[in-house]
């Protein structure tokens, strides 16, 4: 079994200045007041005697109108290009994203 770490960004602790919520707001999809949060799971492997983060899975939880799903999916598909963390880790750590959408 590979070591894993997890973290969660509940609505009250999140920084909504990130590019993903800004892109949603620009498309009239509210991502404030607890509507957006994320679970993050990292998979760590040992290389030699060093622990190395190999994979990160981010699951976004968004409360929004299900009729906006197509727009939300388009934004999610390109947000990594504007995310400083994803750009920093690109090519070093595999990052996968998923979305759990619940109706508003």
Contact 58, 96 (CB under 8 A): yes
Q: pTM value? A: 0.72
| 67, β-bridge pairs | none
- We find that the CATH architecture of domain 4-102 is 2-Layer Sandwich (3.30)
pLDDT tens digit string along 35-49? 888 899 999 999 999
DSSP E strand boundaries for the chain: 4-9, 36-47, 50-63, 94-102
Q: How far is CA 54 from CA 38, 57, 63, 79, 94, in A?
A: 19, 10, 30, 21, 6
Q: Do the beta carbons of residue 21 and residue 55 sit within 8 Å? A: no
Question: Where does the pLDDT of residue 11 fall: very low under 50, low under 70, confident under 90, or very high at 90 and above?
Answer: very low
CB neighbour class for 72 (10 Å; exposed up to 12, middle 13-18, buried from 19): buried
pLDDT in tens, 67-101: 989 988 988 888 888 888 888 999 999 999 999 99
pLDDT score at 35: 84
84 vs 1, which has greater pLDDT? 84
């Amino acid at each position: 079994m590979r070591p894993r770490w997890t973290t969660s960004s509940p609505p009250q602790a999140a920084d909504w200045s990130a590019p993903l919520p800004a892109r949603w707001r620009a498309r009239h999809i509210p991502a404030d007041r607890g509507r957006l949060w994320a679970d993050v799971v990292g998979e760590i492997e040992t290389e030699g005697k060093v622990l190395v983060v190999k994979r990160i899975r981010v699951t976004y939880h968004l409360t929004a109108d299900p009729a906006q799903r197509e727009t939300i999916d388009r934004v999610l598909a390109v947000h990594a290009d504007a995310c400083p963390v994803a750009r920093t880790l690109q090519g070093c750590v595999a990052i996968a994203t998923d979305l759990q959408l619940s109706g508003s």
